[in-house]
Amino acid sequence: MIDHARDLASVREATERLLTAAAALDNASVAEPSRLPGWSRGHVLAHIARNADALVNVLAGRPMYASAETRDTDIDRDAPRALDVQRADVRDSAAGFQAEGERPADWSRTVELRNGVTDSAARVPFRRLVEVELHHVDLGIGYELEDLPEDFVRRETDFLADRFAGHKDVPPIALSDDAGRTWTTGGGAEGGPVQVSGPAADLMGWLAGRRDGAALKATGGTLPALPPL
């Protein structure tokens, strides 16, 4: 069962970890490339801040973004800012998200995200947690997938396996990690079933597009190429 209050607390803790780590940067390193193609670290920090604002909109019943173009333009606009401005924006926007999350509300209601995607309001704090944790890794400043909390890795693997289930471009896949947990996903494309196994962080990283799967073992076929999220 989803515990949105616990997830809100986890978001607060993850944000503090990110802000503490980012304090060791300087203006020059913020302008350097992140691990996301075409994005500097400034782009990543700007996206984290604007995503908090966007999820406030979601919880308040407003459109997540005015448009896809506005989302991208805002990130490009904010990316070149100085480190102290970036950190203040991440902190302030995170506080706004926490405040919205603490308002009395019906957490069982359905909310709308980007591109017409809907979800339970109770899942929004975990969606925010994913943004903070994975983009902390994307900054490339010493926080790795292996540093992510074990419960987070399990839950995000659950989410990603469900997201790829039945996907028209993904063959049937049986997943297993080194803790003995198993999932099934794919099934919309021909081939397989392929068994994919390996360390939990590498398995989640592959599903999330953060690892190439080199550390995973595939049997019954080659490691499938996953479509972008």
pLDDT(221) > 80: yes
pLDDT(1) > 80: no
The long-range contacts involving 165-174, CB below 8 angstroms and separated by at least 24 positions, are 167/227, 169/227, 170/224, 170/226, 170/227, 171/221, 171/224, 173/224
Average pLDDT, the chain: 97
Average pLDDT over residues 198-217: 98
Average pLDDT over residues 70-91: 98
Question: What is the per-residue pLDDT across 29-68, written as a single tens digit (0 to 9) for each?
Answer: 999 999 999 999 999 999 999 999 999 999 999 999 999 8
> What distance in Å separates the CA atoms of residue 115 and residue 5, rounded to the nearest whole number?
26
pLDDT of residue 27: 98
pLDDT(28) > 80: yes
pLDDT of residue 229: 81
Percent of the chain with pLDDT strictly greater than 70 = 100
Question: What is the per-residue pLDDT across 109-137, written as a single tens digit (0 to 9) for each?
Answer: 999 999 899 999 999 999 999 999 999 99
pLDDT of residue 191: 86
Q: What are the residue ranges of helices labelled H in the chain?
A: 4-22, 27-30, 41-59, 68-78, 83-101, 124-138, 150-164, 200-207
Confidence of residue 192 (pLDDT cuts 50, 70, 90): confident
Average pLDDT over residues 195-201: 98
> What distance in Å separates the CA atoms of residue 224 and residue 218, rounded to the nearest whole number?
9
Question: What is the per-residue pLDDT across 160-188, written as a single tens digit (0 to 9) for each?
Answer: 999 999 999 999 999 999 999 999 999 99
Q: What is the pTM of this model?
A: 0.96
